[in-house]
Amino acid sequence: MNQAQIGTEIIIVDDNQFQLKLLSHQLSMVGYKCVTAFDDGQTALDHMADRFLDSTVVILDVNMPNMNGLEFLQQLSKNQFSGSLLFVSDENEEVLHLAEALASSGDLQVLGQLRKPVQQEQLQKYLNDLCSSKENLLNPAKKHSYTAEQLKQAIENGELSNVYQPKVLLDTGALVGVEALVRWQHPQDGEVFPDKFIDLAEENDLIDDIARQVLRNALKDSQIWKKSGMDISVAVNISMYNLNTRQFIRYLENELLSSGMNPQNLILELTETKLVKDYSLVLDMLTRLRLRRVNLSIDDFGTGQSSLMQLRDIPFNELKIDKGFVHSACNDEGLHGVLDGSLQLAKNLGIKTVAEGVEDEADWSFLGNSGCDLAQGYFIGKPMKAEELAGWRGQWMTRYEKISVAAQAEN
Ligand code: C2E
Ligand code: CA
Ligand code: CA
């Protein structure tokens, strides 16, 4: 199963029960397991309300009796639907043209049209195309690549800044911390995501400069939150390259001291992406930090990037389960197995667990019964600017109450 198949939710809206069953089966045959089918538009819209839909594909029959396909499209554009659409129709060309026109005037992304009866190969082709088109749509700057000199200039010009993604307790919804994620505000390309420049920084000796800026901003923002009554932890991502010498850790210790921040509120997230030059130096620095009560988190657990060996040697006290095993785990026994195994392992070692990539209510409620401690993901909150956090918290607590009441009513 590839990443697109794991991460994509498909919603089928078609008044014909037989078509719904047939399409669900065809999707399952091409590897898409997270499929929800509706025989009327309104129920589908209710299902989609309040959800994060960037990775959703709606397969829509444009000719339906009750709420017809065109009305459904108007609603989607009113709700600023951010996923993609595939139209299904019989011979009625006119309705299809209308649907295309409506979608394009309403800023909706259309992958293509399917004729009934739907051919499996064609269905597969459109869904395969989705992965690359989605990447470009979400992150246009990804199309470009940058030089080390451009990145160096950007760091010097202060074009890098932090955004923060909330981490909440699964059993009370309370905000307990955030993860700092770096962004490059490129003067021409707009927001550039870290997967476009972290490798470049690692290969060109710029990763320490980035880590220092991210850390300094994170400490500064965390002190501001504290003053406003939010005493929460902040996690920063550390590359193994930052641990090749003692320089970055010395810098970190000094900054921590002068910021006056409680070291227990700082978390370092580590992934073993590249070979470590001097393993004993890394162990020495991390153990020292742990003795000073700085927290160490093993990131992307389960991907193979983060290994069990690290878990044995390094005094981690938090384990982050990679998003690939979290989103849609409720619909997939393989993912469910990895998730449960990781949680059990962490429990045996007595360390806290965080599930990342919680994208929808199904992920959230599934995790609620799993024994996992914390959750992070688009369903709870997308990465945001430091000053947006307080406002987000208010909205989230209201939403959390609603979700809890609805869940209790169901039980
Ligand atoms: P990560 O540490 O695994 O960070 C989580 C990534 O998942 C973030 O992407 C976040 O925006 C994204 N994410 C959050 N919730 C969801 C969700 O519900 N679904 C999905 N599909 N994704 C979600 P981002 O910000 O693009 O960062 C990508 C990676 O870049 C990070 O992965 C981290 O490894 C690296 N990175 C980010 N900031 C820094 C940094 O300051 N230093 C270093 N060395 N690496 C960084
Ligand atoms: Ca991380
Ligand atoms: Ca991660």
* Domains of the chain, CATH where assigned: 3-132 (3.40.50.2300), 146-316+381-410 (3.20.20.450)
Comparing 17-21, 235-239, 258-262, which segment has the lowest mean pLDDT? 17-21
Q: Which ligand places an atom closest to the C-alpha of 302? A: 3
pLDDT of residue 141: 42
With the most atoms of ligand 1 within 8 angstroms of its CB, the residue from 356, 366, 367, 385 to mutate is 356
Question: Taking 60 as the threshold, does the pLDDT of residue 175 lie above it?
Answer: yes
Q: φ and ψ at 356, to 5 degrees?
A: -105, 160
Tell me the pLDDT band of 309, cut-offs 50, 70 and 90. low
Amino acid at 163: V
Which atom of ligand 1 lies nearest, measured to the CA of 195?
Answer: 30
Interval 58-75: pLDDT, tens: 999 988 776 688 888 888
How many angstroms separate the CA atoms of 299 and 270, rounded? 5
- DSSP assignment of 128-178 equals HHHHHHHHHHH-GGGG----HHHHHHHHHTT-EEEEEEEEEETTT--EEEE
| pLDDT for the residue numbered 353 | 97
Identify the bridge partners of residue 38 per DSSP, sorted by sequence position: 13
Percentage of the chain modeled with pLDDT above 70 = 91
Substitution candidate for ligand 1 out of 5, 237, 306, 374 with most atoms within 8 A of CB: 237
Any idea which of 96-100, 164-168, 279-283 has the lowest mean pLDDT? Answer: 96-100
What are the pLDDT digits (tens) for 360-369?
Answer: 999 999 999 8
Structure confidence at residue 142 (pLDDT): 44
What are the tens digits of pLDDT across the range 12-60?
999 888 888 888 888 888 888 889 999 989 999 999 987 888 889 999 9
Q: Quote the ligand 3 centre to 320 CA distance (angstroms).
A: 6
Which H/E stretch holds residue 7?
A: helix 3-7
Which of 170-179, 271-280, 330-339, 342-351 comes out lowest in average pLDDT? 271-280
pLDDT for res 108: 87
More reliable by pLDDT, 184 or 327: 184
